[in-house]
Amino acid sequence: MSLKPRQVDFNAVWGSLQETVKSVITLGHVPRQIWSDRFSDVYSLCVAHPESMADRLYAETKQYLIDHVALLLIKVQEDGEDNLIKNYYHYWSQYSRGLFYLHLLYWYLNQQHIRMQKPSDAEMIYGSSDANAGEQLEIKELALEVWKNGMITPLGEKLVKLLLETIDKDRSEHTTLIPIEAIQGTITSFVEVQRFKIKGKLKLYQDLFEEPFLDASGEHFKRDAARLLEERDVSLYMEKVITKVDEELARARKFLHASSLTKVSQRCEQHMVAEHLDFLYSECMNMVQGERKRDLSNMYSLLKSLPNALNILVDTVLDHSKCQGLESIGTLQGDNIHVNFVENLLEVYQKYRQQIQEVFSGDQNFMGALDKACSSVINHRPNKGKTPCRSPELLAKYCDTLLKKSSKGISEAEVDEKLRKSITIFKYIDDKDVFQKFYARMLAKRLIHQQTQSMDAEEAMINRLKQACGYEFTSKLHRMFTDMSVSADLNNKFNAFLKDDSIDLGVNFCIYILQAGAWPFGQAIVTPFSLPQQLVKSVQMFETFYYNRFNGRKLTWLHHLCQAELRLGYLKKPYVVTVQTFQMAILLLFETADSLVCKEIRETLLLNADQFQRHAISLVDSKLLLCDSEELTPEAVLRLNMEYTNKRTRFRITAAIQRESPQEVEHTINSVEEDRKLYLQAAIVRIMKSRKVLKHNALIQEVCAQSKVSFAPSIPMIKKCIEALIDRHYMERTQHSSEEYSYIA
Amino acid sequence: MPYQQMDDKSDVDSQKPEKMFTLKKWNAVAMWSWDVECDTCAICRVQVMDACLRCQAESKTDNYGKQECVVVWGECNHSFHYCCMSLWVKQNNRCPLCQQEWSIQRMGK
Ligand SMILES: [Zn+2]
Ligand SMILES: [Zn+2]
Ligand SMILES: [Zn+2]
């Protein structure tokens, strides 16, 4: 073949080309040689001399296709309505495949002629090129356009009517007379026919088929819902609706274009769920209270995609878990309240948490509801808010029980696990600083009375608190630990000092030195006491040693925390008894007197009534002392029990140690308010230092955000702190506004 | 640990106690604080045993409870946080409580 442009006889060439076009579009056999000859015919027509015949070729081809499709339209309808879909699909499959070969045959026309005049993509999108009727299309697109106009336009509505009937039959009888592929192929031909469009590819499919389909389906869903509702059984109804949605989705997958799937399930949910919410909600409470997991999970899956439909279910779960939580801690009694409190709450928490995972796929709405429920249970104030919340104290006591030596029969790993879980409760506590106070007081006692089970466990717990609330929250607790190690060092140095100067104290002495402020003991609890002669030298020597080493410090002896070991030599067997200093002082008085009147003892030792009572009673209860009357009245007479026996040669008088002094509790509670003020002032200074200038509201907001980890501050308290700092020139109001502050360095 | 665990029992059995009571061991507890007339620093209104307000605001740099914020006494015997006083004297070299000229008598240690 020659590539040179030459004169061509259009009619002759088109005559043979048309024969081949017919074979190609009907998938007939085309020998290789014929194919390449016709291929060059297309070329020669396009480059014909003196003038290209491409436009004429295009026009003739278009007309040929129009005639061909008109012929097919007759053939499709030949066998009546029953065979309409089948026939349509048959000719569509043939035509839609054939047009691709045709497109190849017209390669040169497409490539060199049509593409050249095609508008750019930008013009297609922003201009109105689609509407340009005179525009030439590539052959494959042209063929589809011809099919749309010649076949779908006249036949579309009838096809859709038949399709809807067929699908309806599939719904009721789960079978169709027409092969599935014919139904599916017919439906997707409405998409296929538009496939080369740049915009609105799905429009024909949607307008012609999808919309009538969804409307018809909607009517079907309404009828189905009405039928199912007659049984008045929510559980059953939900089961059936879920099955129905699944079925409809499977059907849509079988027949429709993928873009219709969510529309189908939405329509189904609208008519079967959204329009019957009240019916579903009527059983909500019973399902939640009865913990009917399958029902709840069904309800969740039906409601989750409807806007706001879950709220009622979420609220019901919130109320129920809150009631369960309050009930679990409502009637606690006895010595183990703190253990029951924490463990019962954890049980309720774990149960609902697991339920939410299992039944509600861990949905955040429900997790949020559980958080709210826990928070209101844990911060609940009984008696309409008049009784203070005991959670901080009970939780601290729970930790204390676990960290104390006495927690026997429980492994270190179990202790660790329980402490780890207790953080769950801790995180819900609003007044974390109150917890910190109680925790500090109990930690102090564990450290001073050497009741700590394991330093590792103590440290791990403090790290957990630090992680939850930040460094500041635990800094005082850390200072207590520091004092412990500083004291160990001081004891060594003091012993060396005694050795150097050959001093004998007459007693094995050791001491803890606590830094005031870091420990939860106020100065106020120091009561008068006349120190027994045997201890005076120890105190004097240590003070000499200590004041030599440090400048500007003073020591206050906390006798109520001191302990002594006393050997009893007046009994049949020698015993060694560990007592508190006040108990020791009482006992030592009997070295020089056989019997003593209570009043006398108190006056000699300068003990206050409360101190005397507590310690004397513990000695009488332990039978080391005998009393001539039931009550320790000022006139009661005490004497040593010379017949005292004990199976053990070493023992401890413990009763008085464990009693909580009311002053201590009061001190703990009072100090919270003071600490909050200081905390807020430090926070304000910190914020102002980094921000330099800040508006009032922004400052309040940031202070609240920072203190949230420890407590919820009251706005008036923050305002007072701001005023106090302005008075002391840490910050000032700016010149522009009284609502704006600046930091003074 | 400063406390010894209970000794072996030899001392119970062997020694002959001639006295009714023998004090074997005393585990004392004492609290130290700055020897000041007033617990509160008049400049920042925080207890002198605690770090001053500015130091507390920067608590993140204060590592593991080491008290770097010490107390200072003037010749007039009034006492303040050293941090607070050193800022104060830049403005006014007088004691904020008695208006005497400020000179340091001693520092806490
Ligand atoms: Zn200060
Ligand atoms: Zn400071
Ligand atoms: Zn002064």
Give φ, ψ of B73 to 5 degrees. Answer: -110, 140
* Residue A274 to residue A608: CA distance in whole angstroms: 75
What pLDDT score does A280 carry? 94
| Crossing angle of the two packed helices A211-229 and A153-173, in degrees rounded to 10 | 20
pLDDT digits (tens, 9 = 90+) for A486-541: 999 999 999 999 999 999 998 999 999 999 888 887 655 678 899 999 999 999 99
Q: Are residues A581 and A434 in the same domain?
A: no
The CATH number of the domain where A615 resides is what? 3.30.230.130
Q: How far apart are CA A298 and CA A242, in angstroms?
A: 8
Domain count across chain A: 5
Q: How confident is the model at residue A60 (pLDDT cuts 50, 70, 90)?
A: very high
Half-sphere exposure of A91 (CA within 13 A, CB side): 21
Q: Does A582 touch chain B (CB under 8 A)?
A: no
Contact B47 A550 (CB under 8 A): no
Rounded to an integer, the average pLDDT of A117-124 is 58
Do the beta carbons of residue A228 and residue A240 sit within 8 Å? yes
Same structural domain, A579 and A726 = no
- Pairwise pLDDT comparison (B1 vs A249), residue with the higher score: A249
- B94: which strand partners? B101
CA distance A202 to A505: 101
Looking at chain B, which residue has its C-alpha nearest residue A549? B109
Cβ contact A470:A432 at 8 Å: no
Is the Cβ–Cβ distance between B109 and B72 less than 8 Å?
A: no
Residues A267 and A337 in one domain: yes
CA distance B22 to chain A (A): 5
pLDDT of residue A522: 64
Task: Compute, in angstroms, the gap from residue B105 CA to the centroid of ligand 3.
Answer: 11
Q: A181 with A309, same domain?
A: no
Q: Is the pLDDT of residue A129 over 50?
A: no
Cβ neighbours, 10 Å, residue A685: 22
Question: pLDDT digit string (tens) for A479-490?
Answer: 899 999 999 999
DSSP class of residue B61 equals G
Q: How far is the CA of B100 from the centre of ligand 3 (A)?
A: 6
Q: Which residues of A74-90 are buried (b: 16+ CB within 10 A; e: fewer)?
A: eebbeeeeeebbbbbbb
Classified as helix, coil or strand, A649 is: coil
Please report, for residues A212, B39, B46, B51, B82, the alpha-carbon distance to residue B97 in angstroms, rounded to integers and kept in the order given.
91, 14, 15, 20, 15
* B16, two tokens: 């002959």
Q: In what order do the strands lie in the sheet with A740-743?
A: A693-695, A740-743, A731-733
Q: Are residues A41 and A134 in the same domain?
A: yes
Q: Decide if A505 is inside a domain.
A: no
pLDDT score for A665: 64
Res A157 pLDDT > 70: yes
Q: Which residues of B touch A642 (CB under 8 A)?
A: none
Q: Which of B45, B55, B59, B53 is nearest to A469 (CA)?
A: B59
Are A266 and A414 part of one and the same domain?
no
Q: Which residue has the tokens 């020659």?
A: A2
pLDDT score of B17? 47
The enclosing domain of A461 has a CATH number of 1.20.1310.10
Same domain membership, residue A141 and residue A195: yes
∠ Cα A546 A548 A553 (to 5°):
60
Tens-place pLDDT, residues A19-59:
999 999 999 999 999 999 999 999 999 888 888 888 899 99
pLDDT exceeds 70 at position A216: yes
Distance from CA of A741 to the nearest CA of B (A): 17
Q: Residue A676 sits in a domain of what CATH number?
A: 1.10.10.10
Look at the block and give the residue holding tokens 């409190």. Answer: A341
Please report the pLDDT score of residue A197 as a whole number.
86
- Determine the angle formed by the axes of helices A54-77 and A10-25, rounding to 10 degrees: 40
A339 and A398 Cβ atoms separated by less than 8 Å: yes
Asked if A567 and B12 come within 8 Å (Cβ–Cβ), the reply is yes
Task: Write down how long chain B is.
Answer: 109
Q: Which of A55, A49, A51, A59 is nearest to A18 (CA)?
A: A59
Q: What is the Cβ-side half-sphere exposure of residue A239, based on CA atoms within 13 angstroms?
A: 9
Q: Is residue A552 situated within a structural domain? A: no
Instruction: Quote the ligand 3 centre to A356 CA distance (angstroms).
Output: 66
Q: Is residue A627 part of a domain?
A: yes
Exposure of B13 in the CB half-sphere (CA atoms within 13 A) = 5
What are A541-599's pLDDT values in tens digits?
Answer: 999 999 999 989 999 999 988 999 999 999 988 999 999 999 999 999 999 888 999 99
Separation CA B102–CA B109 (nearest Å): 20
The Å distance, Cα A526 to ligand 1 centre, comes to: 26
- β-pair partners for A566: A577, B23
A517 belongs to a structural domain: no
CA A292 to each of CA A237, A272, A298, A312, A684: distance values in angstroms, whole numbers, following the listed order:
15, 22, 10, 16, 51
Residue A128's pLDDT band (cuts 50, 70, 90): very low
Taking an 8 Å cut-off on Cβ atoms, the answer to whether B29 and A574 are in contact is no
DSSP conformation class of A119: P
| A26 CB-side CA count, 13 A | 14
* Confidence at residue A681, expressed as pLDDT on a 0 to 100 scale: 93
A372 part of a folded domain: yes
A345 shares a domain with A424: no
Does B28 sit within 8 Å of A515, measured CB to CB?
Answer: no
In chain A, count H helices and then E strands.
34, 11
A151 and A240 within one domain: no
Residue A589 in contact with residue A604, Cβ under 8 Å? yes
A window 462-481, beta carbon within 8 A of B: 471-472, 475-476, 478-479, 481
Contact B21 A519 (CB under 8 A): no
From A323, A352, A378, give the residue that closes a domain.
A378
pLDDT for the residue A476:
85
Find how far residue A635's CA is from the centre of its chain: 66
Task: State the best of A515, A560, A667 to mutate against chain B, taking most chain B CBs within 10 Å.
Answer: A515
Amino acid A701 reads Q
pLDDT at residue A671 in the model: 78
In this prediction, residue A611 has a pLDDT band, given cuts at 50, 70 and 90, of confident
Range of the domain at A619: 562-660
**Does B8 have pLDDT greater than 50?**
no
Partner B, chain A 686-745, Cβ-Cβ below 8 Å: 686, 689, 724, 728, 730
Question: Is A137 within 8 Å of chain B by CB?
Answer: no
pTM, 2 dp: 0.75
Would A58 be classed as within a structural domain?
yes
Average pLDDT value for residue range A602-618: 89
Q: How far, in Å, CA of A283 to CA of B57, rounded?
A: 55
To 10 degrees, the CA torsion angle through A614, A615, A616, A622? 100
**What pLDDT is attached to residue A199?**
85
Q: What angle (nearest 5°) sits at the alpha carbon of residue A205, between those of residues A202 and A209?
A: 150
d(CA A57, CA A67): 15
Measured CA to CA, the distance from residue A476 to residue A668 in angstroms comes to 14
Q: Among B13, B36, B58, whose Cβ lies nearest the Cβ of A686? A: B58
> Residue A562 has which token pair?
């001191």
Residues of A in contact with B4 (CB under 8 A): 508, 510
Let me know whether A262 and A175 are in one domain.
Answer: no
Residue A543's pLDDT is: 96
CA angle A431, A435, A440 (to 5 degrees): 145
Q: What is the pLDDT of residues B51-83, one digit of tens each?
A: 898 888 886 444 444 457 889 999 999 999 999
Last residue of a domain, one of A362, A378, A394: A378
CA distance A265 to B55: 63
Residue type, A162: L
In this prediction the ipTM stands at 0.82
Is residue A21 within 8 Å of A95, Cβ to Cβ? no
Interface of A with B in 519-558 (CB under 8 A): 519, 521, 523, 534-535, 538-539, 542, 546, 550-558
The whole-angstrom separation of Cα A526 and Cα A582 is 13
DSSP string for residues in A288-299: HHTT-HHHHHHH
Asked if the structure places residue A732 within a domain, the reply is yes
List of chain B residues whose C-beta atoms are within 8 Å of the C-beta of residue A650: 6, 9, 12
Residues A230, A354: one domain? yes
The reported pLDDT for the residue numbered B10 is: 45
Q: Is residue A649 part of a domain?
A: yes
At A534, which amino acid appears?
Q
For the segment A366-422, what is each residue's pLDDT rounded down to a tens digit? 999 999 999 999 998 887 777 778 899 999 999 999 998 875 678 888 999 999 999
Peptide bond into A574 cis (omega under 30): no
Tokens representing A539 are 């105190």
Radius of gyration of chain B measured on its C-alpha atoms? 23
Q: Can you tell me the distance from the alpha carbon of B44 to that of A725, in angstroms, rounded to the nearest whole number? A: 9
Residue A2 pLDDT: 61
Together in a domain, A191 and A250: no
- The answer to whether A341 and A398 have CB atoms below 8 angstroms apart is yes
For position B1, what pLDDT does the model report?
Answer: 38
- The last residue of one of the domains, among A378, A409, A429, is A378
